[in-house]
A and B are shown apart, each in its own frame.
Chain A
Amino acid sequence: DQQVKQNSPSLSVQEGRISILNCDYTNSMFDYFLWYKKYPAEGPTFLISISSIKDKNEDGRFTVFLNKSAKHLSLHIVPSQPGDSAVYFCAALAPPGRAQKLVFGQGTRLTINP
């Protein structure tokens, strides 16, 4: 039962353009969402997060959008840079008192072409 889904295993974008990575979830109890970035042979690193009380959070070139009614979130990277090439994981957390663990999606491999 995949509660967090990233349906695009890969995405290729030209340098300078916008990258949009998508994530869907099924559990309405999730109230906090995060994006992690992973380079080969390294552990995932935290990128940006959003609480369910918001619909947008921005940090520099990175913006996360949350659509609770659609149970959908997306990560926008603009402008995309070659160093953004990595695997991006979407993750979700249930409220305190429930399972205190992040549930991850399958990941999307982003390639930025010069």
Chain B
Amino acid sequence: GAGVSQSPSNKVTEKGKDVELRCDPISGHTALYWYRQSLGQGLEFLIYFQGNSAPDKSGLPSDRFSAERTGGSVSTLTIQRTQQEDSAVYLCASSSNPGYGYTFGSGTRLTVV
């Protein structure tokens, strides 16, 4: 695609429910990143994919968070048993050269009530 696409753009969920966030990277981009921005905070790294493998998942806040990438393309970030502190904007980025030339999607705004 022309850009990085994320869905849904907004998600309101009840505390304790599971949510799935989706990212469609730019075609051909082998590197994919998930970040989140909590209110008043910077961009917090969550996980990095190179192809389908995740060499760096050091930013995942807890074992309630997981992510996968299939076919070297689409990635899903799953949050189980959501908590209010999970409320944030979740941003996905892709690049053809790891670390450089990130293109970000518009993000998914997650609100846990």
Which positions in A face B, CB cutoff 8 Å? 4, 6, 9, 32, 36, 41-46, 89, 91, 93-94, 96, 99-107
Measured CA separation A4–B50 after assembly (Å)? 24
Which positions in B face A, CB cutoff 8 Å? 4, 31, 33, 35, 40-45, 48, 50, 55-56, 58, 91, 93, 98-107
Establish whether residues A45 and B104, one from each chain, have CB atoms under 8 Å apart when the complex forms.
Answer: yes
Query: In the complex, how many residue pairs between chain A and chain B have their CB atoms under 8 Å apart?
Result: 62
Which residues of chain A have C-beta atoms less than 8 A from B4's C-beta?
A: 43
With A41-B106, A101-B56, A104-B42 known as contacts, the answer to whether A46 contacts B101 (CB < 8 A) is yes
Establish whether residues B43 and A104, one from each chain, have CB atoms under 8 Å apart when the complex forms.
Answer: yes
Can you list 23 pairs linking A and B with CB atoms under 8 Å apart?
A4-B42, A6-B42, A41-B106, A42-B106, A43-B4, A43-B93, A43-B106, A45-B104, A89-B43, A91-B43, A93-B99, A94-B99, A99-B58, A100-B56, A101-B33, A101-B56, A101-B99, A102-B45, A104-B35, A104-B42, A104-B43, A104-B44, A106-B42
Establish whether residues A101 and B45, one from each chain, have CB atoms under 8 Å apart when the complex forms.
Answer: yes
Measured CA separation A36–B43 after assembly (Å)? 11
With A100-B48, A102-B99, A102-B102 known as contacts, the answer to whether A44 contacts B91 (CB < 8 A) is yes
Measured CA separation A70–B105 after assembly (Å)? 33
Measured CA separation A96–B100 after assembly (Å)? 11
Establish whether residues B42 and A32, one from each chain, have CB atoms under 8 Å apart when the complex forms.
Answer: no
Contact among B44, B56, B100, B101 for A99, CB-based, below 8 A? B56
